């Protein structure tokens, strides 16, 4: 998958997540792994600067095995809080979109899909 197509996917996923209900959130940010020979993992947030709440978080595995319908996503917040969410197949990709509902410290918000050592992270920066 071309890098420009991948970025368009992340922006589209973040836009879809934002239409589900606008919450105050961390400024929009996104990142993807760049290991094209293995799992391509992306993570994005949406929102406005000045809040420690990232609003919606969207993760995507853009090239999963064709027979894979779901996957467990491990999320690590900047303060070390960890949890898992379930991703489901959407147009050939595995995608999870959720609102953590937690205020976060500055630092990295990361996603890793079960069965992969690849991890995508975005930087959470709270500006007041």
Q: What angle do CA 62, 1, 58 make, to 5 degrees?
A: 30
Distance in angstroms (rounded) separating the CA atoms of residues 63 and 50: 34
Domains of the chain: 3-124 (2.60.40)
Residue pLDDT, tens place only, 95-128: 999 887 777 788 899 999 997 888 999 988 766 5
**Residue 27 pLDDT grade (very low, low, confident, very high; cuts 50, 70, 90):** low
Cα dist from 66 to 31, 55, 61, 62, 104, whole Å: 23, 31, 12, 11, 35
Supply the pTM of this predicted model.
0.72
Name the DSSP letter for residue 74: E
CA distance linking residue 108 with residue 55, whole number of Å: 15
Tokens of 80: 């070390």
CA dist 55 and 77 (Å) reads 13
């Amino acid at each position: 998958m071309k890098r420009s197509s991948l970025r368009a996917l992340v922006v589209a996923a973040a836009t879809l997540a934002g239409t589900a209900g606008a919450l105050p959130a961390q400024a929009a940010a996104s990142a993807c792994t760049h290991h094209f020979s293995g799992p391509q993992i992306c993570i994005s947030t949406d929102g406005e600067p000045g809040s420690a709440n990232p609003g919606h978080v969207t993760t995507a595995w853009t090239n999963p095995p064709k027979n894979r319908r779901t996957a467990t996503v491990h999320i690590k917040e900047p303060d070390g809080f960890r949890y898992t969410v379930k991703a489901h197949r959407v147009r050939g990709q595995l995608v999870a979109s959720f609102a953590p509902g937690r205020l976060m410290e500055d630092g990295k918000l990361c996603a890793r899909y079960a069965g992969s050592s690849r991890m995508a992270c975005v930087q959470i920066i709270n500006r007041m």
